Amino acid sequence: GSNSLVVDEDGETPSSTLLDRVEVNNPDDDNTESTTDKISTIHCLEGERHDVSMGDVIEFQGEHNSDDGSLLPNGGGGKTTFPKCQVVSVKSPTCFMVKEWRDRKGESKNQAEDDKEKSSKTWKSLLEGKARSFSRVKVPKQLSFSSLRQILQPSSPGEGQKATTTTVSDCWENDTLFAPILDKSFDPVRRRAVMTCTAALDAFVRKYGRLPSKSRPTEKNGGGSSSSKQKRTDMERFHSLVRKMAKEKDDDSSPATTSNEKQRWESLVDQFARTCRAKFTPVQALSGAVGAQEVLKAASGLYNPVCQFLLYDCDEVLQGDLSEEEEEDAEECEHDDEADMVTLPEGQSYILGERTSRKLARSRLFLVGAGAIGCELLKNLAAMGAGTGGGGGKKGRAGRLILTDMDTIEKSNLSRQLLFRDHDVGEFKSVAARAAMSRFSSGCRVETHTCRVGEDEEGGPFDDDFWSSGCDVVLNALDNVEARLFVDSQCVAHGLGLIDAGTLGPKGNMQVVVPNESESYGSSADPPEPSIPVCTLKNFPYEISHTIQWARDLFDGYFYRRPKQANDHVNEIAAMEDLGAFGRTLIEKLGEDAASDMAEELGEDLGPFPFIVGNADCSDPEYVLAVKKVSLNWAIREAHRLFYVAMDELLQKHPADSVDDDGAAFWSGTRRKPRPLRFIPLGSEEDEVSAQQVIINERIAQFVRSAARLRMESFLAVDDNQVGDESSSISLEEALVSLEEQAKLLYKKKKSKEILHNLSGGASSDDVTMSQVLEKLNGAKTGASFLPILNIADFEKDDESNGHVAFVTAASNLRAMSYGIPPADAMETRRVAGRIVPAMITTTGLVSALSCLELVKMVRGGLPLAMHRNSFVNLALPFFAFTAPVPAEEVGGVDGKTHTIWDRITVKGGGNKTPTRTMTLGKFLKKIHKKAGCGEEIEISSISYGPFMIYANFLHGDDEGVLATPLLDTVRDAVISEDDDDDMFFEEDDAEEEGEKENTSSAVILSEEQKAILSKLERKRFIDFSVAVENVETGEEFELPPVRLVKDKERTHDENIEDMPQ
């Protein structure tokens, strides 16, 4: 409508960027009366990059700022406020210019004067360097849209004005009415042709009550009037309506001016007329996804709406003519056996022809992943008739969809993975997806697997035979780069087409990899996400994501690693008579500090058992009460250690006025000075309890409550129905009472330990360490005699009742409070801690539709690379871009020849003369030299199998023994000797040591990695080698295409390529 409010244009969470300094441009200019007229330059801290654009509004955060204004970290005296600024220009990713910004809506004159006076003060504080960071501000904006009726109906003329008629075909002149789509060539001629055809189609339906057909209605109805009007085809009628509507604006029937434009106009109109009757599943899915998102925008005010009209077409699927080979395939389809006949989607066959629809039905499509994108792909493929073809045709095999996903369905999946229902939670995604498919497409053959696709897969279904002949096209619906790269490498190795799709909230992309033509996914893969440095997590967090990750690691340490560690050692400690030997072993293996920490953890985790009374049964109230007491005391000690002792020690090591090695203030830049937080009882006589301290007490109590509950569940039986409900529940009041009881005792213990530490300086450090380890292990020894088994907790983000997210939220926000970082709610904590990739069903629907369009092109075959499209979309902005795939990079080789990643030099094994198992390295060298077409001046300089060097001419060129060794044995020896480099260097005159070397060489102990490599070597039907050659005359070096050794009785790569869809 005319008043459409957008509250958030992009849906992105503004990042907080650390500030270096603010500089006022022309500070000596006294003509500037107001700070709103001053232009200042903002400089980001070194290593930081801003995310602002021209026109954005930003706000600054100071050292003592807080979200609610109630907590002022670092002992600040009052909340410092700063002016909001608007970006006027961006100079670089680390620098931009701003001026002061104020929202004047509804502001009185007096308020304006007051704001002017305050502005000078706040601007001064900004220039004094009191601001530490800045972030974008979401400013709501009003948009105005015209209705379709307003655009189509004639406007009312004013007095003395001539009435004008406006039709939809006139819209092409107004660029503001169309959302831009990059690389779809919607120039004025194309745009007007589409808009005019749309209006003509509307008129045709209103006049004839149907959509135009390619056939003549008179012939189809079996007779009728013989008049010329009745004999006209629907195509002729449609063209007539288009010409009529075009004449309403122009004198000529075609609005194009040049002969080329007129030819394009006629081609576009004819194409529209021939295809408008049919429904094409990918286009329907695309339109539905974009339309659904626009409805959500109108209802919520989230994201920018599409600007009036969005034009999209995929007419490239109609390009090209049938070659002779394609005509043979088409003729074969016409003579299929009746048993092989399948019901093809009518709309798809109407547009693309039965040949392409049959090829799609008979194709074997490998779908990797059954998540959000995978479910949408399955739904679309079923509607397109994929996997329904029988065993007829050239290949003589039935089509099918091969689906694999090792994940199980979680509750959070149900909102965006629409094939699944509540009863599917816990089931494998691939199995549940097949069951859903069978309900609405019984003719679709779906083969499911629950194993992962990757390098470490051994003995699974996805071997070389599968990649070579088990599938035709691969569709990726994965959520990690590692798996994508592996699938991509297999597609390149076996010459398969790949379509990869991914989403992140409203953003999505789709990449098509065309065999033998385009670059692969791995050729331009995105860089890995940056990790958080350990020092930042441990001591210097400055973003809420840092504290959330710290709290997530704390959860894993407390409730997964430590219970597992106790279970692993409980029997050993219980049976051990000499704890000293165990302590010494720990110190030798782990070092003093790690051994001491492990001993302390074992003492804490196993030590409580002797003090728990009653029967070890959750139904025994006395037992549950004892566990609760022990758990509360432990949680209180951990809260004091984490949020007071650790912070205090850090400040003692780096006082507030300390400097770094460069002489700069230590607590500056990304390093925030923490504030130690401790619980102070309300009735304390030693410390004053302020309003801020009340908040601190409550936050600490929340941490103690959640930590003690999970600690209880480590001791209580996990199969009891009361776990996580009544038996382990701890109220906030109980936590506060326990904190008050323990507060003074904890402080006294701390002082006593400090005194004992100062009086124990006589013993050596080794004796002190050993005695500390033994002291801590003594408690573990006593507790281990009960042979307890602790329960291990895997972090589960979707179950709100398990307390996992509550613990991480409490720990994260308490640490954020200490460092002056704005806290996060449970939802944001769940997203970061659970590593949830934001997914929207509209975006997944869009990229899945685009993937299916590229699949149709790939199955059809014969299209040039320029007809394929990679897609980049952002439904929030909105932004749509389509680009042709980048051609595979050509690498220079011998004699000016070039090759790409798709090329291979194939050396066949087998036959009676040189079977693979006996082919020597020397014979292999000769075959490579011949196959590569190298002249006498070219010499093979090196051969490698992965990271293993198996031949180098400067080492082995004249070594007859090495050259006579079977090639496969040479590869195995290279793998086995990888870790034996040190054993190769020994004194030649030491006969005894050399003899030991010979005796032990035959009994090499292989690592698990070496075993896996050798096992893979045995399983593979071919082996790819990297080969480098050298021109001995010029000294130039070249890399040959991968040399593929095909094992006995196996087809070559080129033979597999011939069977692929062309």
Instruction: Please identify every residue annotated as catalytic.
Output: 535
- Please state whether beta strands 131-137 and 507-513 pair in parallel, antiparallel, or not at all (unpaired): unpaired
User: CA 205, 207, 213: angle at the middle one, nearest 5?
Assistant: 50
Give the span between the Cα atoms of 865 and 885, in whole angstroms: 7
Give the span between the Cα atoms of 169 and 152, in whole angstroms: 9
Question: What tokens appear for 955 in the block?
Answer: 């080492």
Give the span between the Cα atoms of 779 and 361, in whole angstroms: 69
Half-sphere exposure of 566 (CA within 13 A, CB side): 32
Q: At what angle do helices 826-833 and 804-818 cross, to 10 degrees?
A: 100
Q: Three-state SS string across 584-645, please?
A: HHHHHHHCHHHHHHHHHHHHHHHCCHHHCCCCCCCCCHHHHHHHHHHHHHHHHHHHHHHHHH
Cis peptide upstream of residue 887 (ω within 30 degrees of 0): no
State the distance between the two ends of the chain, measured CA to CA, in whole angstroms.
49
Give the span between the Cα atoms of 931 and 929, in whole angstroms: 6
Question: What tokens appear for 1023 in the block?
Answer: 């082996």
Question: 411 with 798: CB under 8 angstroms?
Answer: yes
Question: 571 with 787: CB under 8 angstroms?
Answer: yes
Residue 496 one-letter amino acid: L
Give the sheet arrangement for strand 507-513, strand by strand: 181-182, 879-883, 870-874, 507-513, 497-504, 473-476, 364-368, 400-404, 446-449
Question: 517 with 888: CB under 8 angstroms?
Answer: yes
Give the span between the Cα atoms of 487 and 468, in whole angstroms: 13
Query: Beta-carbon neighbour count of residue 951 at 10 Å?
Result: 25
Closest by alpha carbon to 1054, among 863, 888, 907?
A: 907
User: CA 474, 852, 902: angle at the middle one, nearest 5?
Assistant: 40
Question: 340 with 389: CB under 8 angstroms?
Answer: yes
Question: What tokens appear for 453 in the block?
Answer: 């696709």
Question: 246 with 194: CB under 8 angstroms?
Answer: no
User: CA 650, 652, 655: angle at the middle one, nearest 5?
Assistant: 95
Question: 518 with 484: CB under 8 angstroms?
Answer: no
Give the span between the Cα atoms of 252 and 192, in whole angstroms: 14
Give the span between the Cα atoms of 555 and 552, in whole angstroms: 5
Question: What tokens appear for 373 in the block?
Answer: 């994108």
User: CA 451, 457, 462: angle at the middle one, nearest 5?
Assistant: 70
Half-sphere exposure of 745 (CA within 13 A, CB side): 8
Question: 795 with 551: CB under 8 angstroms?
Answer: no
User: CA 672, 673, 676: angle at the middle one, nearest 5?
Assistant: 130
Question: Can you give the C-alpha Rg of the chain in angstroms?
Answer: 36
777's torsion region: left (phi>0), alpha (psi -120 to 50) or beta? alpha
The residues, any chain, with a CB within 8 Å of residue 660's CB and separated by 6 or more, are 666
Give the span between the Cα atoms of 554 and 638, in whole angstroms: 11
Q: Torsions phi, psi of 265, nearest 5?
A: -60, -50
Half-sphere exposure of 120 (CA within 13 A, CB side): 8
Closest by alpha carbon to 466, among 389, 364, 360?
A: 364
